[in-house]
Amino acid sequence: MRLDGEEQEILAGKLGPVRQHALQHQMMVGAFFGAEDFVPVTQAHIMADTESLGEAGVRWLEGLAAAEESQRQVRIPTITDPRGTDFAKAAFLGHTPSMLDLEERTIVAFVKLGVIMTNTCINYQTIQAPARNEHVAFGDTGVVIYSNSICGARSNYEGGPSALAAGLTGRTPRYGFHLPQQRRATMHIRVEFTPASLNEWGALGGVIGRIAGNYWQVPAIEGIEGAPRSDQLKHFGAAMASFGSIAMFHIVGLTPEAEELGDVAQAGLPGHRVTRADVDALQRSYHSDDRVDVVVFSAPQLSLYELRDLADLCAGQQFKVPLLAVTSPQVKPDSDRMGYTRRIEDAGGTVLSGMCFYQSYAREIAEARGWKRLATNSAKLVNILGGYGYQPMLASMQACVDAAVTGKLS
Amino acid sequence: MSAVTKIFHARQSMGRTVRGPALVARDGFSARYDLDRVAGIFSRPAHKLAGQSYVGKILVLDTAKGGVATAWMLHEMKSRGIVPLALVFNSVNPILAQGAALGDVPMLAGFDEDITSAIPNGADVEVNPQRGVLTVVE
Choosing from A180, A198, A216, the residue where a domain stops is A180
**DSSP state string for A335-366:** HHHTTHHHHHHHTT-EEEESB-GGGS-HHHHH
In a shared domain, residues A190 and A171: no
- List, for residues B48-83, the tens digit of each pLDDT value: 999 999 999 999 999 998 789 999 999 999 999 999
Among A121-130, A346-355, B28-37, where is mean pLDDT lowest? Answer: B28-37
Q: Is the pLDDT of residue A2 over 70?
A: yes
Residues shown for chain B: 138
Examine the domain organization and report whether A67 and A176 are in the same domain: yes
Same domain, residue pair A242 and A325 = no
Asked if A328 and A122 count as a contact pair (C-beta separation under 8 A), the reply is yes
Cross-chain Cβ contact A158/B94 below 8 Å: yes
Number of domains in chain B: 1
- Rounded CA separation A233/A253 (Å): 14
**Which member of A53, A161, A214 has the closest CB to residue B63?**
A214
Select the residue of A52, A215, A386 nearest B72 (Cβ to Cβ). Answer: A52
* ipTM here: 0.93
Burial letters for A109-128: b for 16+ Cβ neighbours within 10 Å, e otherwise? Answer: bbebbbbbebbbbbbbbbbe
Number of domains chain A is built from: 3
**In the predicted model, what is the mean pLDDT of residues B79-108?**
96
CB contact under 8 A, A48 and B72: yes
Last residue of a domain, which of A249, A267, A283? Answer: A283
Question: Are residues A23 and A164 both part of a single domain?
Answer: yes
- Given CA atoms B119, B124, B128, B131 in this order, what sign does their dihedral have? negative
What lies within 8 Å, CB to CB, of A78 at 6+ separation is A43, A44, A45, A46, A113, A114, A115, A116, A163, A164, A166, A167
| B contacts of A157 (beta carbons < 8 Å) | 67-68, 93-95
Task: Give the separation between CA A277 and CA B1, rounded to whole angstroms.
Answer: 57
Please, are residues A27 and A2 in contact by the beta-carbon 8 Å criterion?
no
Mean pLDDT over A10-14 rounds to 98
What pTM was estimated for this model as a whole?
Answer: 0.96
For the segment A132-180, what is each residue's pLDDT rounded down to a tens digit?
Answer: 999 999 999 999 999 999 999 999 999 999 999 999 999 999 999 999 9
Same domain, A10 and A79: yes
Q: For residue A386, what pLDDT is reported?
A: 85
Query: Cα separation of A351 and B27, whole Å?
Result: 37
B75/A56 touch (CB, cutoff 8 Å), yes or no: yes
Residues A17 and A163 in one domain: yes
- CA–CA dist B62, B92 (Å, integer): 8
Q: How far apart are CA A174 and CA A210, in angstroms?
A: 27
What is the predicted pLDDT for the residue at B2? 58
**Per-residue pLDDT at A395 exceeds 60:** yes
Asked whether A264 and A250 are in contact (CB, 8 A), the reply is yes
CA B28 to chain centre: 11
Check pLDDT > 80 for residue B1: no
- Mutation pick from B74, B93, B96 vs chain A, by most beta carbons of A within 10 Å, is B93
Q: What is the DSSP letter of A197?
A: S
Question: 3-state DSSP: chain B helix, strand, coil percent, rounded to 5?
Answer: 20, 35, 45
Q: Give pLDDT, residue A293.
A: 98
Tell me what the pLDDT averaged over chain A comes to: 97
**Could you give phi then psi for residue B38, rounded to 5 degrees?**
-80, -50
Q: Are residues A175 and A136 in the same domain?
A: yes
- Closest residue of chain A to B91, computed from CA coordinates: A214
A66 and A174, same domain (yes or no): yes
| Across B95-124, average pLDDT | 97
Q: What is the mean pLDDT of chain B?
A: 94
Q: Which of A234-243, A249-258, A276-285, B36-45 has the weakest average pLDDT? A: B36-45
Phi and psi torsions of A173, nearest 5°: -60, 140
* Partner residue opposite A141 with nearest CB, options B68, B92, B98: B68
Q: How far apart are CA A105 and CA A116, in angstroms?
A: 15
Distance CA(A120)–CA(A126), nearest Å, equals: 8
Distances (CA, A) of A349 to A84, A199, B33: 20, 20, 27
What does the pLDDT read at residue B67? Answer: 83
CATH number at residue B99: 3.50.30.10
Q: Taking the C-alpha atoms of B33, A137, A36 and B18 in order, what is their torsion angle to the nearest 10 degrees? A: -30
Give the gap in angstroms from C-alpha B1 to the nearest C-alpha of chain A. Answer: 32
The pLDDT of residue A281 is above 80: yes
- Candidate from B46, B63, B107 with C-beta closest to A213: B63
Range of the domain at B11: 4-137
Q: Are A30 and A173 contained in the same domain?
A: yes
% helix, strand, coil for chain A, step of 5: 50, 15, 35
State whether B76 and A54 contact (CB < 8 Å).
Answer: yes
pLDDT digits (tens, 9 = 90+) for A40-99: 999 999 999 999 999 999 999 999 999 999 999 999 999 999 999 999 999 999 999 999
Half-sphere exposure of B57 (CA within 13 A, CB side): 18
The Cα A140–Cα A121 span in angstroms is: 7
Model confidence band, residue B3 (pLDDT cutoffs 50, 70, 90): low
Is there a contact between A310 and A341 (Cβ–Cβ < 8 Å)?
no
Q: Among the ranges A301-315, A383-397, B62-76, which has the highest mean pLDDT value?
A: A301-315
CA–CA separation, A378 vs A100, rounded Å?
A: 26
CATH number, residue A76: 3.30.499.10
Residue pair A340/A311 in contact (Cβ under 8 Å)? The answer is: yes
DSSP three-state, residue A191: strand
- How far apart CA B79 and CA B44 sit, in angstroms, is 23
B93, A162: Cβ pair inside 8 Å? no
Same structural domain, A238 and A164: no
Given a cut of 80, is residue B100 above it in pLDDT?
A: yes
SS (H, E, C) B80-135: HCCCCCEEEEEECCHHHHHHHHHHCCCEEECCCCCHHHHCCCCCEEEEECCCCEEE
Shortest distance between the Cα of A88 and any Cα of chain B, in A, equals: 24
Across the interface, of A28, A47, A56, the residue whose CB is closest to B76 is A56
User: Tell me, what's the pLDDT at A410?
Assistant: 85
CB pair distance less than 8 Å for B44 and A48? no
Please confirm whether the linkage preceding A300 is cis (ω < 30° from 0).
yes
Confidence label for A389 from pLDDT (cuts 50, 70 and 90)? confident
Structural domain for A255, as ranges:
184-283
Instruction: Identify which of B57, B26, B28 has the alpha carbon closest to the alpha carbon of residue B122.
Output: B57
Asked whether residue A27 falls in the same domain as residue A166, the answer is yes
Contact yes or no for B101 and A29 at CB 8 A: yes
Cβ-Cβ contacts under 8 Å, A57 against chain B: 72, 75-76
Q: Which amino acid is at B50?
A: A
Averaged pLDDT, A360-365? 93
| Closest alpha carbon within chain B to A25 | B101
Q: Is residue A24 domain-shared with residue A154, that is, in the same domain?
A: yes
Interface of B with A (CB under 8 A): 12-14, 28, 30, 32-36, 43-47, 63-73, 75-76, 78-80, 91-95, 97-99, 101-102, 107
State mean pLDDT over A308-327: 98
Q: How far is CA B138 from CA A183, A403, B4, B128, in A?
A: 43, 57, 6, 16
